[in-house]
Structure 1
Amino acid sequence: MAKDILFEIGLEEVPARFIRAAMEQLEDRMSKWLESSRISHSGVTAYATPRRLAVLVKDVAEKQTDISEEVKGPSRKIALDASGEWSKAALGFARSQGVSPEQFTFKELAGVEYIYATKSSAGVETSTLLAQGLLDIVNAMTFPKNMRWGSYDFKFVRPIRWLVALFGKDIIDLEITGVKAGNSSRGHRFLGGETVIAEPAAYVESLRSQHVLADVKERESLILDQIHKLAAEKNWTIAIKEDLLEEVLFLVETPTVLFGTFDPAFLNIPQDVLITSMREHQRYFPVLDTEGKLLPFFVTVRNGNAESLDVIAKGNEKVLRARLSDAKFFYEEDQKLQISDALAKLENIVYHEEMGSIGDKVRRIRKIADLLAAKLNLPANTVSEVSRTADICKFDLVTQMVYEFPELQGTMGEDYARKAGESETVAKAIFEHYQPRFAGDQVPSTDAGAVVSIADKMDTIVGCFSIGIIPTGSQDPYALRRQAAGIVQIVLERQLPISLQDIFAAATEVHENSRNLKHSGEELRNTLYEFFGLRVKRLLSDNVRYDVVDAVIAAGFDDVVNVVARSRALMDAVAGQEDFKITVDSLTRVSNLAAKATEVTIDPELLVEAAEAKLYETWQALHTPYREALASKHAEEALTILSGLKDDVTGFFDSVMVMAEDEKVRANRLALLAGIDADSKIFADFGKLVW
């Protein structure tokens, strides 16, 4: 008869940011242990609160599954010696499998006879395996930070204070760091007490009776329901940020939503400052009106019931008042700082010991941005905006507000620049030059913001690559992959007429002229091209078939807008045109023979066959419009033009012997194919398509 398993690890409060991963890890390790132990069950469910990690396994078999498996050994030729006795290889195989040679059988496989050993093993009682299994699971768990306590060498995320380990109604004989497992759990620290878990299935309800909601999804649903109900009652918009909700979720065991107020006079401070202060310091949800304007209220979640909420609200209001007063002070003090004085302070802040101060970085950003602006042929007024933005883009890093809230860099720069009399475009571009900050974020809306953003990110990437800081595996401490992806995203979404090599050249030129580099600019550009290729490939892979991605990438990705356009056109062609395979086959055949070409010049006088003359004539007519369409990013049109060659290519191969005996004729025909291949290869390597 099947039984349930309950395993709960009771802990001192675990940091909220560690809990979900720990819960999922416990669930995963339990599932894998059951599988490797051949113990059948009907599902593992994980639970977690700030003070516990738990798993409930339903319908666990009381005994391991019996096994009987057949293992292939050496061939008969190797297993038997000349006298027909078992060879050393056969005897060794028998020992390794724990069987006697008499148990061997012979079976034929692919025309060869092999010896086989049949291994049988009867399953043991699950109850005899659980204690060691649970101990192994706990010992194998990993966390971002561990603790040791008492005289124990054992490490865990927080000290273990109680254990519940049940198989059915039976307690599993388990002990960790002097804590012996039982059937008694602990409820809410203030509202509940100890509770006996009569059987695993009663776990959730037993804790509920002690004011603990162990089910994470239930707890989250309750928080959201209460927030939405409050918002409807007050006609508010309560801004729910996912990472804050996640943190609050793992700070409480019995969630109760309440709201408080703050002095409306604080609304004179920029909205982002107030929201950041509430979220980061107090874990409060800001309240907005229907137009998105901040209101003098906040919403928080109490770890407890609904008693005395007015007292709790007043306590939170008092704490928030102090926080907002600090923010108000910082904000007012920062406005006394002149931008020029702030820039001077940047000279004293080390960016990197091999790349100088932040002041040095700003000067490089300015030079790179100016080169990019010239390459983009921006109007004179926009060039001036780019230069000014680059000059002052980092000045807010020395303000008290950004020191207190680093995530407000750019936000405060925009506000302070506007108040200092900078143009609206420059002020906005200071904020935008950090965009996109993360995957899915917006790109800069201004030319100045876009150019300075690329310059800033490219300076960081080139600087790091030049001193050997290159992402490997999961290691990317300077977020270079994200910054490269940001550059690609900006170029693509703003359809900037600039190549990656132009961007690399501008950045490497500035670094070569301002620093002693360990690698030449050419070496850096080659490394950067490969690095950015992976970013472009990942961008395409989100919506494009892998073989189409490989095909267009092989034709080059220096022009990001172009490669995306080509990938979309090729995807449509592959999916929507049944006869497109004929085009692909034709171009692939052309490519295979073109590889043998030694001449690049075509002599029309040597095109003696009608089919080759016709192919040459068609290609000449299509060559220029095809190249122009591709240069204009009209990839679909270019592919249609290129497909117009397929009939003549087919006719050519049907009627013409490419490898003619006459050397000049042969070379001329190969040159013709090479010319067509050169055109097709700037669109894609069609041979990489998979049908």
Structure 2
Amino acid sequence: MTDNKYLLEIGVEELPARFIDDALEQLRNNTEKTLEEKRIIFENIETYATPRRLVLVIKGLAEKQKTIYQKVKGPAKRIAYDNEGNPTKALKGFMRGQGVDIDQITLQEYKGEIYVYANVKKEGKVTEDVLSENMPNIIRSIVFPKSMKWGGKNIRFARPIRWIVSIYNNKVVPFDLEGIKVGNVTRGHRFLGSSYIELNSVDEYFDVLEKNYVIVDQNKRRDIIKYGSKRLAKEKGGNLLLDPELLEEVTYLVEYPTPLIGRIAEEYLELPVDVIITPMKEHLRYFPVVDDSGRLLPYFITVRNGNEEYLDIVRKGNEKVLEARLEDAKFFYYEDIKNPLENYVDELKNIIFQEKLGTLYDKTIRVQKLADKIGDYLEVGQETKNNINRAAYLSKADLVTKMVDEFTELQGRIGMEYAKQSGENEIVSLAIYEQYLPRFSGDQLPTTTAGAILSIADKLDTIAGCFAIEIQPTGSQDPYGLRRQALGIINIILDRKLDLNLDDIIDFALYIYVEENGLVFDYKTVKQEILEFFNGRIKNMFNDMGIRYDIIDGVIATGINNIYDLKLRADKLNTYIESEGLEDVLTTFNRVANLAKNASSTEVKRDLLVKEEEIELYEAFNNIEDKVINWLNKKEYDKALEQFILLKEPVDNFFDNVMVMVDDEKVRENRLNLLAKISETMLMICDLSKIVK
């Protein structure tokens, strides 16, 4: 590999931190794809970012594109040569267009006729030219959740582009991007560095910028923040309460990080922990400090975008900002707890959940009824039912409190705290918080039965209502987060091994909408759409768990809508097939399934079985049927399949020696019914016709 390097820096106004990771991935992928398409060999691509720049570094670039040899088809021989065998104008024009001589022309047959072909050698362009031609499109191809135009330009970007650096080794690679200046001039830290830094080569880029208070490598900035903050916490006898998402966000908010520690006034430590931590993390991007037992200490850590000068002044400023936020929180908290939580429920009648689905109070009543039905379905104890009912009634009450109005991130958490203050028991209080779990992929799941059932009811009510009024996820559009909520339901069911049939609980949810809201919709169609929506999520989740796609299709095709049961089947069959193999039996049982479709019933009459092989199959099936059912009842699906596979030999003998589609209608129907009975039992395990050899 060569030592050739290319640097692209896109200088911008401050980018939203949440946009940056995806933008870097696009920049990397689009560049890699372009280089491969343009036949430029390279060693590796690196991407970096700060709030004010997206950076691309390509290392080990070839000097030029790979030379390629092509055989290009020209005119037919009869047109290319005259009667004396001399090149015609058609052939000469073709050679001129391809830049070849007569000795580079060959003849070859194509679809019954002889054509001339040119053996063309295409020399590669130099890498600098290829980069110059393609960089504008690579920059344009970066898509953001929100983009803007500025200064009369047509290009859309998350923030205005102020400068572009484009250097190949030590030379500028110019290109035109709607008049934006492209060269070798970059900018340092907005306040501490130079606003005009001329770069002589790619190699000096990182060092020169660091001298101007910009650490370009986000991994280096992340480590400075992480380990510097941990050190400061240890100096106070505490531990950093590290939130990976917050760390990532802060990393992309600063160019030259300097962690510093501040103090929380003791009077605010009397507030609930979440009331203190939420303003710190969500509004001010501060890291809390806790002791070894996890108790909050009177310190916070923030990260300055700059050096260590005047840190005391910066610290005091941050302490004042936090004090103002906590003073607000303190006021809201003591105002809210003047009334018990249940006093807020009536106010939910004034808040619209969704125009066609009623108010938050309407949702509360629906969720209360749905949770009650699910509790009955799962046969939970009376005490648990009482807790579920009470938690459901109070579940949305905190949404109309002053605290949640100001700090929306506290929904559920503050409901739990206010429930405790109001004298509700621990289970009811915790369930109010757990109704929102899981909030995102990998989030914690409800720890109580009451919380799990309330969470399922709340999410299912939203899904059922949205589908009933035709607000369904389309493409990337999912304004009510229905995909996330469906995945939440699936995760809870799997985690708690709940014996819940989706078909039944969807029925409950839709019926309650009819009963409570008088909602009119095509019941059968909506229910089927919701089932298919869940099946799509189940397939994706099982696939991510490493289960074969054909086994997923096979177990879903059984028509069983018990998610936990489907997972058990898929797991056991996945293990069984990988270890034992089903190569020899798939064809056999697929023949059974195909013919069984022609049967009118599964009733088999013994006296109509006349051939020895069909009698043997009938008796073999009778011998294994009860054993299969027994293993199915025990959820030992691999063992049920092992019993079923014992039918392979008698089934093969049947097909080898018995004509199914005979003229005698009664005999024909009886034989089809025998196959249908076998197929029906097979479907209780898995649809083997879906399994791919």
- Give the TM-score taking structure 2 as reference length: 0.90
Whole-angstrom CA distance in 2 between matches of 1:115 and 1:163:
48
3-state secondary structure, aligned to 1:354: coil
Equivalent position to 1:571, from 548, 562, 574: 574
Q: Is 1:68 paired with 2:69?
A: yes
Within-5 A mapping of 1:518-557: 518-542=520-544, 543-557=546-560
Whole-angstrom CA distance in 2 between matches of 1:30 and 1:198:
23
Partner of residue 210, structure 2: 208
Whole-angstrom CA distance in 1 between matches of 2:260 and 2:322:
14
Contact (CA 8 Å) 2:416, 2:430: kept in 1 or not?
Answer: yes
Partner of residue 501, structure 2: 499
CA displacement at 1:648 relative to structure 2: 3.7
Partner of residue 256, structure 2: 254
Whole-angstrom CA distance in 1 between matches of 2:549 and 2:509:
31
Partner of residue 18, structure 1: 19
Contact (CA 8 Å) 1:2, 1:62: kept in 2 or not?
Answer: no
Whole-angstrom CA distance in 2 between matches of 1:95 and 1:175:
32
Kindly provide the CA deviation profile for residues 136-187 of structure 1, in whole angstroms up to 9, marking residues without a partner as x: 4334433333344445555433333333222332233456566533333222
Partner of residue 163, structure 1: 164
Contact (CA 8 Å) 1:569, 1:639: kept in 2 or not?
Answer: no
Whole-angstrom CA distance in 2 between matches of 1:552 and 1:650:
24
Q: Flag the 1:233–1:67 CA change in 2: closer, same or farther, 3 A.
A: same
CA displacement at 1:111 relative to structure 2: 8.5
Partner of residue 449, structure 1: 451
Q: Flag the 1:556–1:177 CA change in 2: closer, same or farther, 3 A.
A: same
Deviates more, 1:373-382 or 1:292-301: 373-382
Kindly provide the CA deviation profile for residues 534-559 of structure 1, in whole angstroms up to 9, marking residues without a partner as x: 11212221220111111111112411
Q: Flag the 1:582–1:125 CA change in 2: closer, same or farther, 3 A.
A: closer
Partner of residue 330, structure 1: 332
Partner of residue 43, structure 1: 44
- Give the TM-score taking structure 1 as reference length: 0.90
Q: Flag the 1:497–1:158 CA change in 2: closer, same or farther, 3 A.
A: closer
Deviates more, 1:6-15 or 1:245-254: 6-15
Q: Flag the 1:583–1:154 CA change in 2: closer, same or farther, 3 A.
A: closer
Tell me which amino acid in the other structure corresponds to 2:256.
Answer: T
Partner of residue 427, structure 1: 429
Deviates more, 1:48-57 or 1:651-660: 651-660
Q: Is 1:183 paired with 2:184?
A: yes
Q: Flag the 1:612–1:159 CA change in 2: closer, same or farther, 3 A.
A: closer
Contact (CA 8 Å) 2:514, 2:520: kept in 1 or not?
Answer: no
Partner of residue 199, structure 2: 197
Tell me which amino acid in the other structure corresponds to 1:553.
Answer: I
Kindly provide the CA deviation profile for residues 169-211 of structure 1, in whole angstroms up to 9, marking residues without a partner as x: 2233456566533333222233332433221111111112222
Q: Flag the 1:178–1:605 CA change in 2: closer, same or farther, 3 A.
A: closer
3-state secondary structure, aligned to 1:565: helix
CA displacement at 1:374 relative to structure 2: 2.7
Contact (CA 8 Å) 1:512, 1:521: kept in 2 or not?
Answer: no
Kindly provide the CA deviation profile for residues 327-352 of structure 1, in whole angstroms up to 9, marking residues without a partner as x: 11111111123334311211111111
Within-5 A mapping of 1:297-316: 297-316=299-318
Q: Flag the 1:497–1:45 CA change in 2: closer, same or farther, 3 A.
A: closer
Kindly provide the CA deviation profile for residues 19-70 of structure 1, in whole angstroms up to 9, marking residues without a partner as x: 3333333333333443444444333322221222222223444444443322
CA displacement at 1:503 relative to structure 2: 0.8
Kindly provide the CA deviation profile for residues 624-679 of structure 1, in whole angstroms up to 9, marking residues without a partner as x: 34234324433234223323433443454455454556543343232222111110
Contact (CA 8 Å) 1:211, 1:254: kept in 2 or not?
Answer: yes
Partner of residue 399, structure 1: 401
Contact (CA 8 Å) 2:257, 2:303: kept in 1 or not?
Answer: yes
Q: Flag the 1:169–1:592 CA change in 2: closer, same or farther, 3 A.
A: same
Contact (CA 8 Å) 1:536, 1:557: kept in 2 or not?
Answer: no
Whole-angstrom CA distance in 1 between matches of 2:92 and 2:397:
78
Whole-angstrom CA distance in 1 between matches of 2:402 and 2:59:
55
3-state secondary structure, aligned to 2:165: strand
Whole-angstrom CA distance in 2 between matches of 1:396 and 1:431:
10
Deviates more, 1:230-239 or 1:678-687: 230-239
Whole-angstrom CA distance in 1 between matches of 2:422 and 2:596:
64
Contact (CA 8 Å) 1:174, 1:180: kept in 2 or not?
Answer: no
CA displacement at 1:510 relative to structure 2: 1.1
3-state secondary structure, aligned to 2:215: coil
CA displacement at 1:318 relative to structure 2: 2.1
Contact (CA 8 Å) 2:238, 2:291: kept in 1 or not?
Answer: yes
CA displacement at 1:488 relative to structure 2: 2.0
Within-5 A mapping of 1:606-645: 606-645=608-647
Unaligned runs of 5+ in 1: none
Equivalent position to 2:466, from 436, 440, 464: 464
Partner of residue 387, structure 2: 385
Partner of residue 319, structure 2: 317
Tell me which amino acid in the other structure corresponds to 1:384.
Answer: N
Q: Flag the 1:409–1:94 CA change in 2: closer, same or farther, 3 A.
A: farther
Contact (CA 8 Å) 1:185, 1:195: kept in 2 or not?
Answer: yes
Tell me which amino acid in the other structure corresponds to 2:331.
Answer: F
Partner of residue 9, structure 1: 10
Whole-angstrom CA distance in 2 between matches of 1:210 and 1:381:
65
Q: Flag the 1:146–1:549 CA change in 2: closer, same or farther, 3 A.
A: closer
Unaligned runs of 5+ in 2: none
3-state secondary structure, aligned to 1:259: strand
Whole-angstrom CA distance in 2 between matches of 1:603 and 1:96:
80
CA displacement at 1:72 relative to structure 2: 5.5
Within-5 A mapping of 1:337-416: 337-416=339-418
Partner of residue 272, structure 1: 274
Deviates more, 1:72-81 or 1:351-360: 72-81
Deviates more, 1:13-22 or 1:112-121: 112-121
Tell me which amino acid in the other structure corresponds to 1:166.
Answer: I
Aligned pairs, number = 690
Tell me which amino acid in the other structure corresponds to 2:251.
Answer: L
Contact (CA 8 Å) 2:596, 2:675: kept in 1 or not?
Answer: yes
Whole-angstrom CA distance in 1 between matches of 2:486 and 2:87:
64
Contact (CA 8 Å) 2:340, 2:418: kept in 1 or not?
Answer: no
Equivalent position to 1:282, from 281, 284, 289: 284
Partner of residue 671, structure 1: 673
CA displacement at 1:279 relative to structure 2: 0.6
Deviates more, 1:607-616 or 1:543-552: 607-616
Contact (CA 8 Å) 2:352, 2:360: kept in 1 or not?
Answer: yes
Q: Flag the 1:310–1:415 CA change in 2: closer, same or farther, 3 A.
A: same
3-state secondary structure, aligned to 1:274: helix
Partner of residue 236, structure 1: 238
Tell me which amino acid in the other structure corresponds to 1:258.
Answer: L
Kindly provide the CA deviation profile for residues 565-593 of structure 1, in whole angstroms up to 9, marking residues without a partner as x: 11112112112225x44444443332233
Whole-angstrom CA distance in 1 between matches of 2:591 and 2:118:
52
Partner of residue 143, structure 1: 144
Q: Flag the 1:399–1:601 CA change in 2: closer, same or farther, 3 A.
A: same
Kindly provide the CA deviation profile for residues 472-517 of structure 1, in whole angstroms up to 9, marking residues without a partner as x: 2221111111111222222222222221111111011111223354
Contact (CA 8 Å) 1:397, 1:409: kept in 2 or not?
Answer: yes
Contact (CA 8 Å) 1:80, 1:86: kept in 2 or not?
Answer: yes
Contact (CA 8 Å) 1:196, 1:206: kept in 2 or not?
Answer: no
Q: Flag the 1:656–1:427 CA change in 2: closer, same or farther, 3 A.
A: same
Q: Flag the 1:621–1:173 CA change in 2: closer, same or farther, 3 A.
A: closer
3-state secondary structure, aligned to 1:377: coil
Whole-angstrom CA distance in 2 between matches of 1:178 and 1:583:
68
Whole-angstrom CA distance in 1 between matches of 2:63 and 2:558:
61
Q: Is 1:107 paired with 2:100?
A: no
Deviates more, 1:172-181 or 1:333-342: 172-181
Equivalent position to 2:478, from 449, 462, 476: 476
